[in-house]
Amino acid sequence: MKFKKSFLIAALSLLLTTISGIISAQTGEPWTSKDLLAPAALAGMIDNPKGPKPVIFNIGPLAGIKGSINIGSTVNKANLDKLSKSLAGVPKDKMVILYCGCCPFRNCPNIRPAFSLLTAQGYTNPKLLNLPQNLKVDWTDYGYPMD
């Protein structure tokens, strides 16, 4: 039963990610559906002790996902500069994940400037954690790992 529930949650997350990606691509966002990462997928990476670990940046005002680096709200130029400095030494092909979670994804003031910074600096595997509602609803309510 637990496997079926996990599978259904993962399938629903994938569906939501795909739909959100299609909508984003049609609205001229700086990312495409391939740049969105479902919460279940990131939770799986974090929980897998043998798997590769992405670099995760918290670019919002809320509590941190396990292993994330707190940058703060990147609508603030000082925090955007902090993100840029924090990327120093991170290989350009490394998976770099950004998340905020302060509000519905489509309204978030932090993800666009941060994602645009990553692409401008030449990162080839940037990802946005797809949190359609917010961090609580789409991450913590599922019991995904927090610091």
Query: Model confidence over 14-70: pLDDT tens digits?
Result: 444 444 444 444 558 988 999 999 999 999 999 999 999 999 999 998 879 999 999
- State pTM to two decimals: 0.80
- DSSP 8-state class, residue 146: B
The alpha carbon torsion through 26, 27, 29, 31 (nearest 10 deg) reads -20
Query: Model confidence over 121-138: pLDDT tens digits?
Result: 999 999 999 999 999 999
Q: Where are the domains of the chain?
A: 2-142
Q: Which CATH class is domain 2-142?
A: alpha beta
Whole-number Å distance between alpha carbons of 93 and 64: 24
Tokens of 11: 């399938």
Q: Give the strand pairing for 96-99 and 126-129.
A: parallel
- DSSP 8-state class, residue 63: P
